[in-house]
Amino acid sequence: MSLIGHGAAGLFLGLVGGFAHFLSLNWNLKLFLGGRTWQALGLQGVRLTLTVALLAGLAHWGVFAVLTGLAGLLAARHLTLCTRKTTAP
Protein backbone atom coordinates (compact mmCIF):
# COMPACT_ATOMS: atom_id res chain seq x y z
CA MET A 1 0.00 0.00 0.00
CA SER A 2 1.26 3.48 -0.78
CA LEU A 3 1.88 6.31 1.63
CA ILE A 4 -1.40 7.94 0.57
CA GLY A 5 -3.22 4.67 1.19
CA HIS A 6 -1.71 4.35 4.66
CA GLY A 7 -2.69 7.92 5.44
CA ALA A 8 -6.26 7.48 4.22
CA ALA A 9 -6.63 4.22 6.15
CA GLY A 10 -5.16 5.84 9.27
CA LEU A 11 -7.54 8.77 9.03
CA PHE A 12 -10.57 6.53 8.49
CA LEU A 13 -9.65 4.14 11.31
CA GLY A 14 -8.86 7.07 13.60
CA LEU A 15 -12.27 8.60 12.92
CA VAL A 16 -14.11 5.32 13.52
CA GLY A 17 -12.11 4.53 16.65
CA GLY A 18 -12.45 8.08 17.91
CA PHE A 19 -16.21 8.11 17.48
CA ALA A 20 -16.50 4.78 19.31
CA HIS A 21 -14.21 6.04 22.07
CA PHE A 22 -15.83 9.42 22.63
CA LEU A 23 -19.46 8.38 22.11
CA SER A 24 -19.05 5.81 24.88
CA LEU A 25 -18.22 8.60 27.35
CA ASN A 26 -21.93 9.22 27.94
CA TRP A 27 -22.48 5.55 28.76
CA ASN A 28 -19.47 5.61 31.06
CA LEU A 29 -20.80 8.69 32.87
CA LYS A 30 -24.17 7.00 33.42
CA LEU A 31 -22.46 3.93 34.87
CA PHE A 32 -20.41 6.04 37.29
CA LEU A 33 -23.40 8.12 38.38
CA GLY A 34 -25.53 5.01 38.76
CA GLY A 35 -23.12 3.61 41.33
CA ARG A 36 -21.83 0.84 39.07
CA THR A 37 -18.22 1.80 39.56
CA TRP A 38 -16.63 -1.53 38.58
CA GLN A 39 -18.58 -1.70 35.34
CA ALA A 40 -17.62 1.89 34.58
CA LEU A 41 -13.95 1.16 35.26
CA GLY A 42 -14.19 -1.93 33.06
CA LEU A 43 -15.68 0.10 30.23
CA GLN A 44 -12.96 2.71 30.69
CA GLY A 45 -10.33 -0.03 30.44
CA VAL A 46 -11.89 -1.39 27.25
CA ARG A 47 -12.03 2.09 25.72
CA LEU A 48 -8.37 2.78 26.44
CA THR A 49 -7.25 -0.70 25.37
CA LEU A 50 -9.00 -0.39 22.01
CA THR A 51 -7.50 3.04 21.40
CA VAL A 52 -3.99 1.80 22.22
CA ALA A 53 -4.52 -1.26 20.00
CA LEU A 54 -5.64 0.98 17.15
CA LEU A 55 -2.55 3.18 17.38
CA ALA A 56 -0.24 0.18 17.80
CA GLY A 57 -1.77 -1.42 14.72
CA LEU A 58 -1.29 1.79 12.75
CA ALA A 59 2.34 1.90 13.89
CA HIS A 60 3.00 -1.18 11.77
CA TRP A 61 2.22 0.95 8.71
CA GLY A 62 4.54 3.76 9.78
CA VAL A 63 4.58 7.16 11.36
CA PHE A 64 2.37 8.78 8.72
CA ALA A 65 -0.43 6.31 9.43
CA VAL A 66 -0.12 6.97 13.18
CA LEU A 67 -0.22 10.73 12.68
CA THR A 68 -3.27 10.58 10.42
CA GLY A 69 -4.90 8.18 12.88
CA LEU A 70 -4.31 10.67 15.68
CA ALA A 71 -5.74 13.42 13.48
CA GLY A 72 -8.84 11.26 13.00
CA LEU A 73 -9.12 10.72 16.75
CA LEU A 74 -8.89 14.45 17.41
CA ALA A 75 -11.43 15.25 14.69
CA ALA A 76 -13.83 12.67 16.14
CA ARG A 77 -13.31 14.16 19.61
CA HIS A 78 -14.08 17.64 18.37
CA LEU A 79 -17.18 16.56 16.44
CA THR A 80 -18.49 14.37 19.26
CA LEU A 81 -17.99 16.80 22.10
CA CYS A 82 -19.27 19.83 20.16
CA THR A 83 -22.43 18.14 18.87
CA ARG A 84 -23.42 16.14 21.96
CA LYS A 85 -23.82 18.39 24.96
CA THR A 86 -24.13 15.87 27.78
CA THR A 87 -24.40 17.23 31.29
CA ALA A 88 -24.41 15.39 34.57
CA PRO A 89 -27.82 15.30 36.26
Q: CA 21 to CA 47: how far, in whole Å? A: 6
Q: Could you tell me if residue 54 is inside a domain?
A: yes
**DSSP-H helix ranges across 1-89:** 3-33, 37-59, 63-83
Q: What is the pLDDT of residues 10-39, one digit of tens each?
A: 999 999 999 999 888 888 989 999 999 999
Whether the predicted pLDDT of 84 surpasses 80: no
Q: What confidence score (pLDDT) does residue 81 get?
A: 83
**How many independent structural domains does the chain possess?**
1
Q: What confidence score (pLDDT) does residue 55 get?
A: 93
Whether the predicted pLDDT of 71 surpasses 90: yes
Q: Could you tell me if residue 89 is inside a domain?
A: no
User: In terms of residue numbers, what domain contains 30?
Assistant: 3-83
Q: Could you tell me if residue 45 is inside a domain?
A: yes
Residue 68: burial class (beta carbons within 10 Å; 0-12, 13-18, 19+): buried
Q: Using a pLDDT cut of 90, give the percent of the chain over it.
A: 72
Q: Could you tell me if residue 22 is inside a domain?
A: yes
